[in-house]
Structure 1
Amino acid sequence: MKWKLNGAAAQPAVLRPLAPSHAFRNTVMTGVFEFAAGGADAPFDVVDVEAAGSSARLEVRPFPSSVGREDWFRVLLCSCFHQAENHQALLARVFQNIPAAQRQDLSLFMGDQVYLDLPTLNNYPDDSAKLADRFERYYRTNWTTNLGLEPLFNAAPAVFCPDDHEYWNNFPHASPIIQNSWKKASRERWKVAADQVYDAFQCTPPAARGDNIVVDVDPLSIMVLDQRSQRQDDRSATLGPSGLQQLNEWVDRLIAGRKIGAVVTGQSLLDKPVGKIQGAAADWVLSNYGDYESILKALRRLADAGRPVLLLTGDVHWGRVTRIREEGRTRFIEIICSPSSLVTTIGNDQLRSIGAGFRRFFRGERTRWPRHASAPDPEPYFAPQVFGKRFTTDVVCKHQGDQLAMLAFRQAAGGIEAKVTYYEVHERPNSPREIDLGLLR
């Protein structure tokens, strides 16, 4: 591979050398390379690479070390991308209509970047090598074509948070709709294949699968939790063996440095526990797991120290912004952005569409999103089983439909001014919806 940076020959640091995406067959190669910024005066850097007789060009902003006072530091939020429903590359078209000056410096992909277990009625082979080949094709479409996520990847560095569809619905538990998950040996074969392609396409070195990932843009610090790849079948833990220690060390650092934190999770920390039938038939939620209380107690230390925290997630197929207050003072703000392309759900989609048709015929109600659910209100108290009635919830806004969100930060008055903008992924999108999150300090 021959590299150029702004027209001059360059050699990047090799964070992970090129290697096959899985061990069973040498088809797609992936690697991770890092360049030092070309110069402080250049608003964009141009990277050219030449290999095997072909070439590619990438134009990117140098990654900032701190949040500025004039220019906004922007973070794109995206989750739940079902490529088969992304008709006519709609996600790419909507994203490319965002003015270049308002695009992200960092992308956070918050789970379900692929749906390895779909279509549901397909007969999946019970063989790791054949599964890995199939999963690799899904990733290749989503990563390297305009029909997938490629335009978003090309705009900025990306960090990934895995959720269940990086494996199968409700992973690591057996799912009634995924035949390969019914037997332990079959689940293990599927996991072997899914782990390898996840490592190849989504895992960001020097972190390893299961590690939490930290991105610092002073005074903002973002921790991306991996609560899926090491999740325990007995529901004892969502984090890997060192995950809770990493979280507590991060909290210590934020308190000592008076930083402002954001935590990315694959599911909402506000979800109340579900019962055994719902958990087994659909999805267990974070509050059903043994380390939920310890995670929340770590985050509570930030509230005790007066450090504001953003809770960022996807998963649920609707958008919502919720303030979490203590005696009128904002301690946490949860921002949900989901989905970017709604997954097909056999039966449920048809029922929702029929219901929307009846409401339109009999009541004159029209909806732009007949298949999408509306966001419910959260419970009135944040995790009462852990905190009692200490923290109250207050919904700021709800957002229905396929969506992207753009968080933006700017230094102001001894803190960070913050806002989030929702973009509809629709053939005729409404105007972007901006929500002021106020001053974080």
Structure 2
Amino acid sequence: MSMSEHTNPLGDKPIRVALLGCGVVGSSVARMLVESADDLRARIGAPVELVGIAVRRVGKDRSDVPVDPALFTTDAEDLVTRADIVVEVVGGIDPARGLLLKAMESGASVVTANKALLAEDGPTLYAAADAAGVDLYYEAAVAGAIPILRPMRESLAGDDVTKVLGIVNGTTNFVLDKMDTTGAGFEETVAQAQALGYAEADPTADVEGFDAAAKAALLASLAFHTRVKGADVFREGISDVTAADIAAAKAMDHVVKLLAICERTTGQNGTSGVSVRVHPAMIARTHPLASVRDAYNAVFVEASAAGQLMFYGRGAGGDPTALAVLGDLVAVARHIVAGGRGPGESAYADLPILDVGDSVTRYHISLDVEDRPGVLAQVAQAFADTGVSIETVRQHIRTNSSSGEARANLVIVTHAATEAALAATVDALAASEVVAEVVSVMRVEGA
């Protein structure tokens, strides 16, 4: 008797897979299932059978998907009850949520790339998986082909993760990278990203940080064994980042990146908790994340024993995301063959979610001020009053060509302080009689 016969309670019975969605990612998943059928069978210990693909319109031309056209169906409700594993790449909250819950109630394990659903209602899905004794895997929901969830869930299971710092949205990284390398403005660069297929016709979810915030919630939940929802994540997008901000970063030998930052920290009242935020920030060119170019993603992990780890690769696209889906499918199928299941939700720590005001960062602040004695002292006093220490000050004098009035541009970089103290400082500066305008404010991370 072979090992596969000895350990496989299914015998030669195939593992039935239902696919929800046949867009860019779904068509890649279907193609890989067909083209890699022999390898998958060898790796899993049982054949894999695609039993159906749920789509909105059956009559659409899908000749590029190498499957029997009879597999396409609009009856997703029925399809999810006929599978051992349901792969969901439709996205959105509903009807995906209802379909996955029905799949698990019917005894099917789930592999999904749906970060929005998991960030909004992950606990409900995990509870359903536990009740049904099935798996819920979602490696493809965070960073495409980059294996980050499984290493954090399994390889670092014996360690304490203290911080996760990541570039988890390829569209925004492409835009900011091109602004840095070409000097182009935001709108121009977004248009370029759309022309190349990196950005949607409506890029709001990407450029306003919603996509990254959902992914940050999943990373924080896993890293800190605490339930974090997308609504818990402080979020700022990149639509207000200007060419002047990019130039200011260059002057400091920094670059601007949209960062997802998840960390264990202590609040102002001494409470240990979790801080999760997504926002653009300057980061030194010497930091590993600064070298992440184009539409690539990277996640930088800090842990007590392992130290610093970085995971880098393609974070989006049909084939990269489909590979992550297939990796989860193989893992889940192996559990079915062996008669077990993988790790479920780990939320035992149940740490409080701290307000963004408790997070600690540095600020780069550009001010337009009068050029006269005593101005710098008054500006410095605003920082002193809120307990924020100044690291560096640069001044540039310019003269108004029409009035001949001398003005000064002050660029101040602070030492690390709480977000609340820094925000109070900016408010005080904006109200100061010697400050004509707070030109820009940007966080500085990774120092």
TM-score when normalising by structure 2: 0.28
Give the number of the structure whose alpha-carbon radius of gyration is greater: 2
Q: TM-score, normalised by structure 1?
A: 0.28
Relative to its length, the structure with more helix (as a share) is 2
